[in-house]
Amino acid sequence: MYGTHSKRDMEIEYQSQVPILRPSIHARRAKITVKFQDLYGFTVEGNVDDVNVLNEVREKVREQGKVWWSLEASKGANWYLQTHVSSTLKTSLKFSALVNAITLKKLIRKGIPPVLRPKVWFSLSGAAKKKSTAPDSYYEDLTKAVQDKVTPATKQIDHDLPRTFPGHPWLDTAEGHAALRRVLVAYSFRDSDVGYCQGLNYVAALLLLVMKTEEEAFWMIAVLLENVLVTDCYNKNLSGCHVEQRVFKDLLTKKCPRIAAHLESLEFDVSLVCTEWFLCLFAKSLPSETTLRVWDVLFNEGANLLFHVALAIFKMNEEELLTVHHVGDVIHIIQRCTHQLFDPDDLLTVAFDQIGFMTTTTISRQRKKQEPAVMAELDQRLRRLNSINASDEQ
């Protein structure tokens, strides 16, 4: 679709999507809290300084968009797909693919223009390839086949629909609920091991806003759970998510030792904040435009990005965290920070430049190290629960 637009048409379309926010003179003078809608329809509360930050960010996004338009004009509409360096390629083509890959990684870390985001995500994440392996009518046939079925998963989905971004002008409507329900129910039948897990509703809702169509949102969910994220992150006992939390705790000790030691002295459990981050992929914690910048990188570089972002949030609040003495204060500082992180560049700069490089091999070893302890702990919980249930029945 976007490949058929002229550069000028795309610029005009994009400019219309990134309006300048203009607080009233009264608000500027009084420095009071103002409310406004972001690009994806969410109501945001902040002071005038926050509005100024958002306007600066949007200006940077406009400038970044010009770079993408220029590359589309010089390299072709789908140049970013030519990034795979294969041994069968000629030397000149290998070099070209390598240059494209390096260029793309840098570009994506600076943000994908909203008008290009659906196409780039769908291609780079592997969702397009996954969809191509299924019949053309797969999603339509699946939704029709399961629309009247009732399962524990569908009951939980129905319960969560009105609690998913309440107040949003489209998601919190009958039409929005119906679309979100179809996507979530369809996937619950595609993968019965996952079924439905709370947290997926926020991920799917945001994907619906970006991808525009239910079918593309469905395939993005599929590639996320089946290829991008770690195995078993959303299964019934959340074993993958528990492993990620343990890995994160180890990484926090290595990357931010002062914070880790202080939190240990407070007996602070990182799962109090990280569970929501890893299950909702920050969709419920960060402003939507910041979340989508994180997802830009996630779909290109993989799940380890989540550790970089989580570590960055703690690192950005290091000095203040070291002054508090109560668990509740830690949670307050972290939540205040995430809700006000309107500049994605602030977050991602810390995530990559200050946290430092973490190899996939290193993190994979950490996961394998933690898996036995997690499975033993979950098994112990299950035995304890079964014992309690047995006692109640007697």
Express each pLDDT in 146-168 by its tens digit.
999 999 999 999 999 999 999 99
Backbone angles phi, psi at 126, to 5 degrees: 100, 0
How far is 351 from 335, CA to CA, in rounded Å? Answer: 17
pLDDT of residue 84: 55
Residue 294 has what pLDDT? 98
Half-sphere exposure of 187 (CA within 13 A, CB side): 28
Mean pLDDT, range 230-235, rounded to an integer: 88
This prediction has a pTM of 0.87
**Which CA distances in Å does 73 have to 50, 69, 138, 257?**
35, 6, 35, 47
Q: What is the pLDDT of residue 85?
A: 46
Tell me the pLDDT of the chain averaged across its residues: 87
Cα–Cα dist 83/93, whole Å: 10
Instruction: Please give the Cα distance from 371 to 377 (Å, whole number).
Output: 10
SS3 content of the chain, % helix, strand, coil (to 5): 70, 0, 30
Question: What confidence score (pLDDT) does residue 380 get?
Answer: 87
Please indicate whether residue 30 or residue 40 has the higher confidence score (pLDDT): 40
CA distance 344 to 82: 27
Average pLDDT over residues 101-108: 87
Q: Which residues on neighbouring strands pair with residue 43, listed in sequence order?
A: 37
Average the pLDDT over 271-280 and give the result.
Answer: 96
Interval 307-330 mean pLDDT: 97
Mean pLDDT along residues 226-247: 91
Which among 213, 230, 200 has a CA at the least distance from the CA of 128? 213
pLDDT band of 303, cuts 50, 70, 90: very high
pLDDT over 50 (residue 371):
yes
Tokens (6 digits) for 227: 């290829």
